[in-house]
C-alpha cells in the first residue's frame, strides 16, 4: 500500500465549515488525518498559510495531542484499551499477542506494508466488557469486548481478508 | 418538520408525539449504548426490524405524529447492566432480556410483539439459578434510583420526537417564557447542585457569577472529555439522552445570556459524537436551537468540538485552550473562567451529567432535588462500576449511598469467589478505598476525608490478586504520559515517581524508596500548576497509607503477596508433569534450564530443571510448555 499525494482541498473543506481562524487548527488536522491516517509533512505549511498563523504553532498543536501522528499509519488501526478496568482484567496479554502476531513492538507500531498499526489507548469506555480493543479503518469503527489472546489470530485473519 | 415559532406550536407537537408514544402499548428497546453495540446489539436490532418488515407485524420503527401501530421497536440508551449485554427492555411490563443474540429475534417478535408474552429463557439468571424477568426485581437495580438516567433506555436515543413525548424541552420552555435569568440561577443555586465533573463546585454559583460578569459574548461549554480510564457515565448520557444534556445547556445559555455553546467530546467516543450531531440537527430543525428560538428573539448555537487525545484537556483552562486551537496547557488562574474563560470571555463550563440534571431541577423544583441524598451534596450520582465485580455497568444511586451497598448489593460482590481488596475511585486523580471505608457514605464531603475524591465517578473494584503498587504504577505511568509538560513539578516529578514504582514492582526496590516517594508526592501535590499535577500523587499517597506493608514486602522481602508482579515470582518445573521434550530449554534466552540424568518411573525421557539464580523471569518457558510443567510461585 502506498500513501496518496497531499491534497490542499481537504484543508479547504474543513475551512468551509469551521472558518479560517486559529480555532480551526484541530478540526483541520483531524480532517487531514481522517484522509491519510497521518499528517503528511505538507500539512504544516499549507494550514499555516491558509490560517495566517506560524508553522510552529500548527506543528506544536499536532505534536501535543496523542491522536495526531506524523508517521504513516496502517489501514487498520488497532487501539488496545489499557484503561483501569481493562488493565486489571488483563489487557496487556492481548497487546503482546497482537505485537507478536504482527512483528511489532512498543517502538515499531506499524507494519512495513502499512496494513496494521497497534497502539494502546487510555480508555474506550467499554469498561464493563473489559478487556476490549477497537479497530479503526473498517467502516464503522468496531469495538471487540471480553477478548482473550487466543481470539486475536482470528480477528487478524478477519481483517486481512478486508485489506 | 417545519420550525416551531412559538410556545403553542411546541405544546402542540409535544402533545401529538405524546399521544403517538402512549398509543404504542408495547415498546421494545434494544440497547444501543457502546457496550451493547460492541456485543452486537445493532445486529439484534436489524434482525428484529427485518422480521417485523417481512412478516408485516404491527410494530412501528419510527414514531409518527399520528398514532400508528400498537407496538414500537426502538434503539434505546444504556439501561446499565452492561455485562449482561445485549440487553432488550420491554415496556410497560419492564421485562429485561439479557444476553440476546440475533437468533432470538424470531422468538421476541412471535411471543412478545405479536402475543404480548415474555420470552422467559432470555430473563436474567441470578447466581442462585433463579430466573428474574422484571428489571426492577433484579438485585442490580433494587437499590438504584434513576432520575437523571430515567429516560436513558426508555426512549429512542436518536429521536427528538420521543424526548418531546416524555415532556422533553418543557423545562427550557418554562425558563424561556416564565422565568428571568436571575430566577433560573437562583433555582439552581437553591437546589445546591454540585458539579459532577469531580470537584463538586456549586453550579448555581458558577452561573450566577457568569450572569453578573462584564464582557460579551458569553459562552457555554460542556466538558464531555471524560478521559478518566475506567469511567463511561458521560458517554452513556451523551449516547442515551443527548437531548436532556442539550436542554440543560440551553437553560444555562438562557440563564447567563450566551448565544454560542461548545460540547467538547473525546475522540474515542465516535458513537457519542454521532448521536450528539444528530440531536443538534434535530433540535435545529425543530427551531429549538439556532436563531430566534420559538419566536422569542433568543439565539443559541451549539458546536461539537472533538478532542484529540489529551487527558489534561479535562482541566477547564486546558480544555478552553484546546477549543481556541492551542496546545491544551492549563493557565495560571488569575481569573475564574466565569470572568475570563473561553477567548477571555465569561464562560460557564460544566460537565455532561451536571447539565443533564438541570431540566429535572427546573421542572420539579429545588426543594424536590434537595430531598434526595444528603443536604450538603444532594441529588444522585452516576458511577461506572467495573473491575473484578460480578455485575459491571452504569449505575445511578442517591449521593451518600454506602460503598458496601454498591459493591455487594448492586455489584453482586467479587467475581470468582475472591476476596474484596480495594476500590479505586475517581481515576488517576483519586485514591483507593478499602474494607475500612465500606460504610462511608459516598458524597462530595465524606470521600475527601478518606483521601480520595468522587471524581467523575469511575469505580474500579480490585480483589486479592491485584497488587496495589502495580495499580499505583499504572496510574502514575498514565499521568506521566498525559502531563502537558508546562510545569516542572509535574513533568519531572511524575517521571521520578514512576521510576521508583517501576523499580519496586520489578523487584529492585531500595531502602529509602518509600520515604522518597512520600516526599515527592507531597511536593508535587503542592507545587504543580493544575489539577492533573496536583492530584497525580494521590494513588501513591492513598496506597502508601493503606498498603504500606505491601510496599515493604516488595522492597525488603522481594515478595508480591497478590502474586501479580511477574519479576517477583519464582518459576520451577514440576518433574511429574515434565515430558522431557526440551521445548522450555530451547525457549530460555539465558540457558537457565537443563536436563537431568535421571528418568522418573513411568516416563520416557529425563526431566528438566530450572536454575532460579539464572532465571530472568521472562516466562518464555512457561509459554512454550505444552504439559503445564512450568509452575510459578508468588
Taking only the tens place, the pLDDT of each residue in B61-92 is 888 766 678 889 999 999 999 889 899 999 99
Per-residue pLDDT at A3? 64
Q: How far apart are CA A74 and CA B471, in angstroms?
A: 32
CB–CB contact B229 A122 (8 Å) = yes
DSSP characters for B220-286? EEEEE----TT--HHHHHHHH-HHHHHHHHHHHHHHHT-SEEEEEE-TT-HHHHHHHHHHHHHHHHT
Domain locations in chain B as residue ranges: 19-143, 168-371, 380-463, 468-557, 569-633
Give per-residue pLDDT as tens, B344-363: 999 999 999 999 999 999 99
- Residue B207: closest CA among B218, B216, B198: B218
CB–CB contact A25 B325 (8 Å) = yes
Considering the four listed CATH numbers 1.10.3470, 2.70.40, 1.10.10, 3.40.50, the one that applies to the domain covering A8-64 is: 1.10.10
* Fold annotation for B468-557: de novo design (two linked rop proteins) (1.20.1440)
Q: Which residues have CB under 8 Å from B629's CB, separation 6+?
A: B573, B574, B575, B576, B577, B578, B579, B584, B607, B608
The helix or strand, by DSSP H or E, that contains position A44, with its residue range, turns out to be helix A43-51
- Residue B451: closest CA among B464, B466, B434: B434
For residues B203-216, average pLDDT: 95
Are B198 and B426 in contact by the 8 Å Cβ rule? The answer is: yes
Size of interface A-B (CB pairs under 8 A): 143
∠ Cα A121 B544 B536 (to 5°) = 40
Per-residue pLDDT at B125? 93
Are B288 and B4 in contact by the 8 Å Cβ rule? The answer is: yes
The helix or strand, by DSSP H or E, that contains position B609, with its residue range, turns out to be strand B608-610
A118 touches chain B (CB under 8 A): no
Give per-residue pLDDT as tens, B359-377: 999 999 999 999 999 989 9
Mutate to test the interface with B, among A47, A59, A127, A136 (most CBs of B within 10 A): A127
- Residues in chain B closer than 8 A to A82 (CB atoms): 229
CB–CB contact A26 B325 (8 Å) = yes
Give per-residue pLDDT as tens, B7-21: 999 999 999 999 999
For residues B514-539, average pLDDT: 94
A138 pLDDT exceeds 80? no
* SS3 of B399-460: CCCEHHHHHHHHCCCEHHHCCEEEEEECHHHCEEEEHHHCCCECCCCHHHHCCCCCCCCEEE
| ipTM of predicted complex | 0.90
CB–CB contact A128 B310 (8 Å) = no
Per-residue pLDDT at B67? 66
* Fold annotation for B19-143: Glutaredoxin (3.40.30)
* SS3 of A49-105: HHHCCCHHHHHHHHHHCCCCCCCCCCCEEEEEECCHHHHHCCCHHHHHHHHHHHCCC
Cell output for B351: 460537565
Give per-residue pLDDT as tens, B421-473: 999 998 888 889 999 999 999 999 999 888 888 887 889 899 999 999 999 99
For residues B401-416, average pLDDT: 94
Highest mean pLDDT out of A118-122, B178-182, B625-629: B178-182
- Residues in chain B closer than 8 A to A86 (CB atoms): 229
CATH, range B569-633: 3.30.70.20
The crossing angle, in degrees rounded to 10, of helices A43-51 and A9-18 is: 40
User: Least CB-CB distance to A141: which of B227, B270, B482?
Assistant: B270
Measured between CA atoms, how close is B231 to chain A, in angstroms? 6
Cell output for A15: 475551512
The position carrying cell 477549543 is B323
For residue B488, the SS3 value is helix
Chain B residue whose CA is closest to A79 = B268
Per-residue pLDDT at A82? 87
User: Least CB-CB distance to A84: which of B83, B229, B482?
Assistant: B229
User: Least CB-CB distance to B322: which of A26, A57, A134?
Assistant: A26
Mutate to test the interface with B, among A20, A81, A88 (most CBs of B within 10 A): A88
CB–CB contact B37 A27 (8 Å) = no
Domain locations in chain A as residue ranges: 8-64, 76-161
- Residues in chain B closer than 8 A to A57 (CB atoms): 326
A121 touches chain B (CB under 8 A): yes
Q: How far apart are CA B441 and CA B218, in angstroms?
A: 37
Give per-residue pLDDT as tens, A26-79: 999 999 998 888 999 999 999 999 999 999 999 999 999 988 999 999 999 999
Per 3-state DSSP, what percentage of chain A is helix, strand, and coil (rounded to 5)? 45, 10, 40
Q: How far apart are CA B297 and CA B528, in angstroms?
A: 45
Chain B residue whose CA is closest to A26 = B325
- Residues in chain A closer than 8 A to B387 (CB atoms): 84-85, 88-89
Q: Which residues have CB under 8 Å from B589's CB, separation 6+?
A: B616, B618, B620
User: Least CB-CB distance to A88: which of B34, B327, B460?
Assistant: B460
- Residues in chain B closer than 8 A to A32 (CB atoms): none
CB–CB contact A122 B311 (8 Å) = yes
pTM above 0.95, yes or no: no
Per-residue pLDDT at B177? 96
Cβ atoms within 10 Å of B252's Cβ, excluding its own: 28
A131 touches chain B (CB under 8 A): no
A78 touches chain B (CB under 8 A): no
Considering the four listed CATH numbers 2.30.30.60, 3.20.20.80, 3.30.565.10, 3.40.50.11540, the one that applies to the domain covering B168-371 is: 3.40.50.11540
Q: How far apart are CA A39 and CA B308, in angstroms?
A: 13
Chain A residue whose CA is closest to B234 = A125
How many percent of chain B have pLDDT more than 70?
100
User: Least CB-CB distance to B82: which of A87, A124, A128?
Assistant: A128
Measured between CA atoms, how close is A4 to chain B, in angstroms? 23
- Residues in chain A closer than 8 A to B34 (CB atoms): 124-126, 143
Q: Give the confidence band of B291 by pLDDT, cuts at 50, 70, 90.
A: very high
The helix or strand, by DSSP H or E, that contains position B15, with its residue range, turns out to be helix B7-23
A32 touches chain B (CB under 8 A): no
Cβ atoms within 10 Å of B160's Cβ, excluding its own: 26
Distances (CA, A) of B84 to B124, B129, B232, B418, B500: 8, 15, 17, 21, 40
Mutate to test the interface with B, among A80, A123, A138 (most CBs of B within 10 A): A123
Architecture of the CATH domain B380-463? Roll (3.10)
* SS3 of B116-140: CCCCHHHCEECCCCCEECEHHHCHH
Q: Give the confidence band of A1 by pLDDT, cuts at 50, 70, 90.
A: low
CA A150 remoteness from chain centre: 24
CB–CB contact B232 A145 (8 Å) = no
User: Least CB-CB distance to B323: which of A23, A68, A84?
Assistant: A23
Cell output for B9: 406550536
A26 touches chain B (CB under 8 A): yes
Q: Which residues of A are annotated as a binding site for [2Fe-2S] cluster?
A: 81, 86, 123, 127
Q: Give the confidence band of A128 by pLDDT, cuts at 50, 70, 90.
A: confident
CA B584 remoteness from chain centre: 43
User: Least CB-CB distance to A64: which of B310, B311, B462?
Assistant: B310
Chain B residue whose CA is closest to A61 = B327
User: Least CB-CB distance to A123: which of B83, B230, B392?
Assistant: B230
A48 touches chain B (CB under 8 A): no
CB–CB contact A88 B322 (8 Å) = no
CB–CB contact B387 A122 (8 Å) = no
Q: Give the confidence band of B395 by pLDDT, cuts at 50, 70, 90.
A: very high
Are B385 and B231 in contact by the 8 Å Cβ rule? The answer is: no
Give per-residue pLDDT as tens, B103-146: 999 999 999 999 999 999 999 999 889 999 999 999 999 999 99
Per-residue pLDDT at B208? 96
Say yes or no: domain A76-161 is CATH 3.10.450.40. Answer: no
Q: How far apart are CA A43 and CA A70, in angstroms?
A: 10
Amino acid at each position: 500500500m502506498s500513501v496518496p499525494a497531499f491534497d490542499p482541498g481537504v484543508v479547504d473543506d474543513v475551512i468551509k465549515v469551521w472558518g479560517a481562524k486559529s480555532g480551526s487548527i484541530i478540526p483541520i488536522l483531524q480532517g487531514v488525518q481522517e484522509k491519510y491516517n497521518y499528517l503528511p509533512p505538507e500539512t504544516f505549511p499549507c494550514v499555516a498559510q491558509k490560517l495566517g498563523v506560524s508553522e510552529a504553532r500548527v506543528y506544536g498543536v499536532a505534536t501535543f495531542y496523542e491522536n495526531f501522528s506524523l508517521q504513516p499509519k496502517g489501514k487498520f488501526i488497532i487501539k488496545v484499551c489499557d484503561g483501569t478496568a481493562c488493565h486489571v482484567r488483563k489487557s496487556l496479554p492481548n497487546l503482546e499477542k497482537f505485537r507478536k502476531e504482527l512483528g511489532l513492538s512498543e517502538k515499531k507500531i506499524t507494519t512495513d506494508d502499512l496494513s496494521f498499526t497497534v497502539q494502546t489507548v487510555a480508555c474506550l469506555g467499554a469498561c464493563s466488557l473489559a478487556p476490549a480493543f477497537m479497530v479503526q479503518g473498517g467502516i464503522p469503527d468496531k469495538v471487540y469486548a471480553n477478548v482473550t489472546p487466543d481470539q486475536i489470530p482470528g480477528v487478524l485473519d478477519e481483517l486481512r481478508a478486508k485489506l | 418538520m417545519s420550525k416551531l415559532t412559538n410556545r403553542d406550536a411546541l405544546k402542540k407537537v409535544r402533545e401529538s408525539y405524546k399521544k403517538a408514544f402512549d398509543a404504542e402499548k408495547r415498546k421494545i428497546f434494544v440497547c444501543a449504548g457502546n457496550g451493547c453495540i460492541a456485543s452486537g446489539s445493532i445486529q439484534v436490532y436489524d434482525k428484529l426490524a427485518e422480521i417485523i418488515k417481512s412478516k408485516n407485524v404491527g410494530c412501528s420503527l419510527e414514531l409518527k405524529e399520528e398514532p400508528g401501530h400498537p407496538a414500537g421497536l426502538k434503539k434505546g440508551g444504556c439501561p446499565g447492566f452492561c455485562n449482561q449485554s445485549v440487553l432488550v427492555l420491554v415496556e410497560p411490563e419492564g421485562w429485561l432480556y439479557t444476553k440476546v443474540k440475533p437468533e432470538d429475534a424470531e422468538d421476541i417478535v412471535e411471543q412478545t410483539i405479536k402475543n404480548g408474552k415474555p420470552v422467559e429463557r432470555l430473563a436474567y439468571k441470578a447466581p442462585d439459578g433463579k430466573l428474574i424477568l422484571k428489571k426492577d426485581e433484579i438485585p442490580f437495580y433494587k437499590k438504584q434510583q434513576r432520575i437523571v438516567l430515567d429516560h436513558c433506555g426508555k426512549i429512542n436515543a436518536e429521536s427528538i420526537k420521543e424526548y418531546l413525548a416524555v415532556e422533553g424541552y418543557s423545562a427550557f420552555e418554562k425558563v424561556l417564557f416564565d422565568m428571568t435569568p436571575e430566577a433560573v440561577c437562583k433555582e439552581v443555586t437553591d437546589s445546591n447542585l454540585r458539579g459532577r465533573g469531580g470537584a463538586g463546585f456549586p453550579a448555581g454559583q458558577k452561573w450566577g457569577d457568569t450572569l453578573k460578569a462584564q464582557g460579551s459574548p458569553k459562552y457555554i461549554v460542556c466538558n464531555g472529555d471524560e478521559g478518566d480510564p475506567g469511567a463511561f457515565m458521560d458517554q452513556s448520557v451523551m449516547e442515551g439522552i443527548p437531548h436532556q444534556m442539550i436542554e440543560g445547556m440551553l437553560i444555562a445559555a438562557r440563564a447567563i445570556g450566551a448565544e454560542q455553546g461548545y460540547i467538547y467530546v473525546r475522540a474515542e467516543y465516535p458513537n457519542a459524537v454521532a448521536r450528539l450531531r444528530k440531536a443538534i440537527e434535530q433540535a435545529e430543525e425543530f427551531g429549538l436551537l439556532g436563531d430566534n428560538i420559538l419566536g422569542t428573539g433568543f439565539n443559541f448555537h451549539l458546536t461539537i468540538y472533538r478532542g484529540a487525545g489529551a487527558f489534561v484537556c479535562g482541566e477547564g483552562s486546558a480544555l478552553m485552550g484546546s477549543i481556541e486551537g492551542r496546545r491544551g496547557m492549563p493557565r495560571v488562574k488569575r481569573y475564574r473562567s466565569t470572568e475570563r474563560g473561553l477567548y477571555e470571555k465569561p464562560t460557564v463550563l460544566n460537565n455532561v451529567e451536571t447539565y443533564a440534571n438541570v431540566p429535572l431541577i427546573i421542572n420539579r423544583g429545588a426543594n424536590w432535588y434537595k430531598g434526595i441524598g444528603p443536604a450538603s451534596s444532594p441529588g444522585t450520582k452516576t458511577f461506572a462500576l467495573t473491575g473484578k465485580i460480578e455485575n459491571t455497568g452504569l449505575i445511578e444511586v442517591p449521593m451518600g449511598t454506602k460503598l458496601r451497598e454498591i459493591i455487594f448489593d448492586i455489584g453482586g460482590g467479587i467475581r470468582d469467589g475472591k476476596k474484596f481488596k480495594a476500590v479505586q475511585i475517581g481515576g488517576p486523580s483519586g485514591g483507593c478505598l478499602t474494607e475500612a471505608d465500606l460504610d462511608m457514605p459516598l458524597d462530595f464531603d465524606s470521600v475527601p476525608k478518606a483521601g480520595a475524591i468522587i471524581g467523575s465517578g469511575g469505580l474500579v473494584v480490585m480483589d486479592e490478586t491485584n497488587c496495589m503498587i502495580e495499580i499505583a504504577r499504572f496510574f502514575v505511568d498514565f499521568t506521566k504520559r498525559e502531563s502537558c509538560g508546562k510545569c516542572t513539578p509535574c513533568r519531572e516529578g511524575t517521571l521520578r515517581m514512576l521510576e521508583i514504582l517501576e523499580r519496586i514492582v520489578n523487584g529492585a526496590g531500595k531502602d529509602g524508596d518509600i520515604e522518597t516517594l512520600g516526599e515527592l508526592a507531597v511536593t508535587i501535590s503542592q507545587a504543580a500548576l493544575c489539577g492533573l499535577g496536583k492530584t497525580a500523587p494521590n494513588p501513591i499517597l492513598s496506597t502508601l497509607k493503606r498498603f504500606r506493608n505491601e510496599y515493604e514486602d516488595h522492597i525488603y522481602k522481594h515478595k508480591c503477596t497478590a502474586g501479580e508482579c511477574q519479576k517477583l515470582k519464582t518459576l520451577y518445573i514440576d518433574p511429574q508433569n515434565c515430558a522431557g521434550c526440551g521445548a522450555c530449554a530451547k525457549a530460555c534466552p539465558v540457558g537457565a534450564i537443563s536436563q537431568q540424568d535421571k528418568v522418573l518411573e513411568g516416563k520416557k525421557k529425563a526431566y528438566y530443571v530450572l536454575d532460579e539464580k539464572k532465571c530472568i523471569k521472562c516466562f518464555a518457558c512457561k509459554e512454550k510448555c505444552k504439559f503445564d510443567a512450568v509452575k510459578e510461585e508468588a
